[in-house]
Amino acid sequence: MTSERSRDNLIETLKQKGIKNNEVLKIMKKIPRHIFVDEAISDQAYDNTALPIGSNQTISQPLIVAKMTELLISKNPKRILEIGTGSGYQAVVLSQFAQKVFTIERIKTLHDEAKRIFKILNIHNIYSKYSDGNNGWPEKACFDAIIYTAAANTISTSISLQLCDNGVLLAPVCVGSKQILREYLKKDNKLIYVDHGEVNFVPLLNGKK
């Protein structure tokens, strides 16, 4: 199956699964997901599934990337902080909607590979940092939106302080034995939230590797 046909099939799947934003669908079709994964599994790049990228990490399922992007951009954020660069795929998608995307990765090999891909794709509005994502990026705060790409036990005060008032924070959060996609809105320095169903992400870890 050709890459073009594979991409078309993926977009049809996303539509059937409830993704309605045409701009999100258009960007998801345009971005070459196959360059974010090893060549040996590149034929699976346009399947609606998570794929391994090394270091016990994965590139997220396209449906989850589309859903999280759709939720975030509904608030028209100009500056986004991403905690967990991973493959860089989610950051690239977000970079098509925001003025600036700041992304943090704790695993050096993934950080370096994502930066290489950003350069290949000629994307200049993504700013990368090799660091522990639990600390955020306070010197660049505040952010209109913050997105976690790994499951957190809680949202720390240090992260919530980096969110602008009326900003949105989207994170998979561990609730008992489940992970829930939770959308927080910051109002008067308090976080209120709404849940968007169960998800399955790698856990958010401390420290650099």
Q: In the chain, where are the structural domains located?
A: 50-198
| pLDDT score of 3 | 79
pLDDT in tens, 87-124: 999 999 999 999 999 999 999 999 999 999 999 999 99
Report the pLDDT value the prediction gives residue 151, as an integer from 0 to 100.
94
Summarised one tens digit per residue, pLDDT across range 132-142 is 999 999 999 99
pLDDT per position as a tens digit, 192-209: 999 999 999 988 988 787
Judged against a pLDDT cut of 60, whether residue 1 lies above it is answered with no
Please report which confidence band the pLDDT of residue 2 belongs to, taking 50, 70 and 90 as the band edges: low
Query: Where are the extended beta strands (E) located within 8-91?
Result: 51-54, 57-59, 79-83
Name the pTM for this structure: 0.95
Please give the positions annotated as active site.
60
What CATH number belongs to 50-198?
3.40.50.150
Mean pLDDT of 64-73: 97
Provide the mean pLDDT of the chain.
95
How would you class 121 by CB atoms within 10 Å of its CB: exposed for 0-12, middle for 13-18, buried for 19 or more?
middle
